[in-house]
Structure 1
Amino acid sequence: MSEKSTAIDRREDVNPDEGVREYGDVEFADTKNHKYPIDTEKHIRAAWSYINHKDNASKYDADEVETIKRRIKAAAKKKDVEIESE
């Protein structure tokens, strides 16, 4: 199964360096802006919760949200973390 790749645009309201500063060199669901770290169970659960809030999701277009969700789901599966479906 190949991952559909949707590029995520750089957000003007985000400094990507802040994500790296706060979380280190980890995997992010939003790799462009370094948002939604998905390196630990705690981060995976938090990322899923945050991207499913309308105010957070509204900062991305629909394809970008789906890409982020797909990456979070893949990380959850890889680390055997149960997350609620949408």
Structure 2
Amino acid sequence: MKKDPKIQERDDVRPTEGEHKYGDVEFADPTNKKYPIDTPEHVRTAWSYINQERNADKYDDSEVKIIKERIKKAAEKQGVAIDAD
């Protein structure tokens, strides 16, 4: 997945770091290579992180909504139970 026009590039992130750390995987925020959602463990972790105020505050409300929807979709696909927000 490439950059997403619905999610802005963040100044505090270097997308190459996420790609280097996780490889060529699907991210809930593909623009900044944040929140990998390729495994059940990553899905649970992504959900936990995006629901922390200090992480969600780095995005506007519409971006958080998009990221959460992508994580929920990945959770459903992988059979991962997550708490609704």
What is the TM-score of this pair, normalised by structure 1? 0.92
Q: Which runs of 5+ in 1 are unaligned?
A: none
Root-mean-square deviation (CA, aligned residues, Å) is 1.2
Equivalents in 2 of 1:18, 1:6: separation in Å? 20
Cα drift, residue 26 of structure 1: 0.2
* Runs of 4+ with deviation above 3 angstroms: none
Is 1:46 aligned to residue 45 of structure 2?
yes
> What amino acid does structure 2 have at the position aligned with 1:38?
I
Q: Which residue does the alignment assign to 1:32?
A: 31
Cα drift, residue 6 of structure 1: 6.9
Is 1:78 aligned to residue 80 of structure 2?
no
Q: How many residues align?
A: 82
Q: Please list the CA deviations of residues 21-77 of structure 1 after superposition, one character each: whole Å capped at 9, or x if unmatched.
A: 000000000010000000000000000000000000000000000000000000001
Q: Which runs of 5+ in 2 are unaligned?
A: none
| Inter-CA distance 62–6: structure 2 relative to 1 (3 Å threshold) | farther
What is the TM-score of this pair, normalised by structure 2? 0.94
